[in-house]
Amino acid sequence: MNLEELFIQNKESLIEGRYLTLDSITPLLERNNIKKNVKIIGESVLEAPIYSYQVGTGKTKIFLWSQMHGNESTTTKALFDFINLLNSETDLAKELLGAFTFSCIPMLNPDGAKLYTRANANDVDLNRDSQTLTQPESKVLRAAFEEFEPHFCFNLHDQRTIFGVSDTGKPATMSFLAPSYNEEREVNETRLQSINLIAGINDVLQQYIPGQIGRFDDSFNINCIGDTFQFLGVPTLLFEAGHFQDDYLREETRKFAFMALVSSFTILNENDIVSNGIDKYLNIPQNKVVFYDFMYKNVKINYDGIEIITNFAAQYKEELIEGQICFNAYIIEVGDLENYFGHYEFDAEGASYKDDFTNIPNINQKADFYLNDNLHFVNGLIKK
């Protein structure tokens, strides 16, 4: 199966970029071939509708939800690409629809999506609310889970650009987790099913993004929804869509998330599951916080007449301004930065740092500065 070609054929052209709201996806849910399987299953804090889409006649029931965190939209795009595949009337689509019943919540947190925040409108992280169920969105998800009685759950998220694949210097473009079901992080039959499936997905994706797949931390927290569903005996997979080189809009990462979804269900359908894949799973390197968006090396800085050569780093802050996501770079660290990497790295080779303020790179200052007067950096990059 050519997954690259499959993605191109099914990519949903009406949604792109990082800022996806309910207004972005409503036209997709109202399409004639989709709307008959769409229903409103609840409301958010601000009374926005929460939609589900259910399709397929197969005995294996798959439950997927995305944008539990409002500013994590990559897997929502990938989910709609996958829904397009299911509606393509191809042999693959017919095969999947006959083998599975899919129940999808494409945007669990529409208020957070509109505000471009991780939390909901009550400033609650829904992924820490699986036990107390204080929020309407959490109650909707739990009710949908209990009514559908799935055989597998897919918890779809984004992760920040700070994560790399261990100390390899490669970004964690996709990361996966078979959540723990107890404090001891033991492997029972339920968790083993998640582990074996992730091992199979990793085998596929390594062909496309070798060395750029990570394993998410499996510390147990019963307040997290994945840990809860695993504890309740339903194999659950966490997807974390991360950074691909120069892909801040996550359009390349979207492709790999789509590939991971397709691979999951072809593996399950063909019963091509890795047997006892614990070693393969544990050999996937762990996510590690090792990246900055920008790193500037060997910069000369004058501290009250004392010149030193050092490094500093900047990070994008994603800011919602007049309905647009703006990537604004701010200085966040100064020092040797040993064992860290930059998605963009610049070796100043001893050039002198200057700016329009104190001529010292201060924390939380915009990354606008000069090197040796002749190189002007604006928002982290050299001004052309």
Which tens digits make up the pLDDT trace of 312-336? 999 999 999 999 999 999 999 999 9
pLDDT value at 373 more than 90: no
Q: What is the pLDDT of residue 122?
A: 98
Per DSSP, which regions of the chain are E strands?
38-43, 49-55, 60-65, 100-105, 152-158, 163-165, 174-177, 213-215, 236-241, 287-289, 291-303, 306-321, 324-335, 341-347, 353-354, 369-371, 375-378, 381-382
111 touches 46 (CB < 8 A): yes
Angle at the Cα of 198 from the Cα atoms of 196 and 203, rounded to 5 degrees: 100
pLDDT value at 274 more than 80: no
DSSP 8-state code for residue 363:
T
pLDDT value at 275 more than 90: no
DSSP H helices in 129-188: 136-148
pLDDT tens figures, 103-113:
999 999 999 99
Mean per-residue pLDDT, 272-294: 92
Amino acid (one-letter) located at 341: F
Which residues have a Cβ under 8 Å from the Cβ of 262 and sit 6 or more positions away?
Answer: 1, 3, 6, 82, 85
The mean pLDDT of the chain is 97
Q: What is the pLDDT of residue 273?
A: 80
Report the distance separating Cα 99 and Cα 9, nearest Å.
22
pLDDT value at 203 more than 80: yes
- Cα 97–chain centre separation: 26
Report the distance separating Cα 340 and Cα 333, nearest Å.
11
Q: Which two tokens stand for residue 264?
A: 């999951």
Amino acid (one-letter) located at 76: T
pLDDT tens figures, 43-58:
999 999 999 999 999 9
pLDDT tens figures, 154-186:
999 999 999 999 999 999 999 999 999 999 999
